[in-house]
A and B are shown apart, each in its own frame.
Chain A
């Protein structure tokens, strides 16, 4: 079974600082990996996805993630945090056979002025 672990349920950064949200996955097959963002009382918005093309994936709002097979990681980064980045972030792995996504527990990002 596939699984995802997000390290750190809460991350706090200052505006303008580097954002780093950590995600490790477990998968017996080449994974489809995703990062989603969720704002309060809203659904999930796709930030970026890895589907076995380039290992460095660029997404929306200046976010990017690097797939590292040797470390089974897919960490999300943004060079400079903005107040509007404050939200909850979910890492997910998609299992095509089971037709479902498995999500990490989420990381709440707080951005301090």
Chain B
């Protein structure tokens, strides 16, 4: 079974721009969670989607948003990029919301200049 895939793997953007990251979960998994990893803040939960609905949200500004499609693929969007948004963004998939077994993708490394 293929693992979690994230695209692109690396991205460089300029302050003020917006960016969209994509995550394809493991086949059969319907829940997708997003995490931000930075040296200063560590791993922080962004949000979780299940059956195309946002189920849970972390403590991030409204510039961070996401969505999930009917095939369970998910995208997250960051608008008006700031330097502090530079991070590794990790996606995790699980069978259902509340399922503790999460499988992580390789991440997207976003650099904001």
Q: Which residues of A contact B (CB under 8 A)?
A: 32, 34, 36, 41-46, 49, 51, 90, 92, 94, 96-106
Contact = CB atoms under 8 A, between A and B. Distances in A.
DSSP majority for the A interface? strand
23 contacts: A41-B109, A43-B104, A43-B106, A44-B104, A46-B103, A46-B104, A49-B100, A49-B101, A51-B100, A90-B43, A94-B100, A96-B98, A96-B100, A97-B98, A99-B33, A99-B48, A99-B50, A99-B55, A99-B98, A100-B33, A100-B56, A101-B33, A105-B42
A103 B100 contact: no
Contacts of B42: 103-106
Nearest to B109: A41
A111 B58 CA distance: 35
Given A94-B102, A101-B102, A106-B42, A44 B90 contact: yes
A43 B98 contact: no
A62 to B, nearest CB: 21
Interface residues of B, number: 26
B86 interface: no
Contacts of B101: 49
Given A99-B48, A99-B55, A106-B42, A42 B98 contact: no
Interface string B44-60: 01001010000110100
A101 B45 contact: yes
Nearest to A106: B42
B97 interface: yes
A49 B99 CA distance: 13
A2 B98 CA distance: 15
Contacts of A44: 90, 92, 104
Nearest to A103: B43
B83 to A, nearest CB: 20
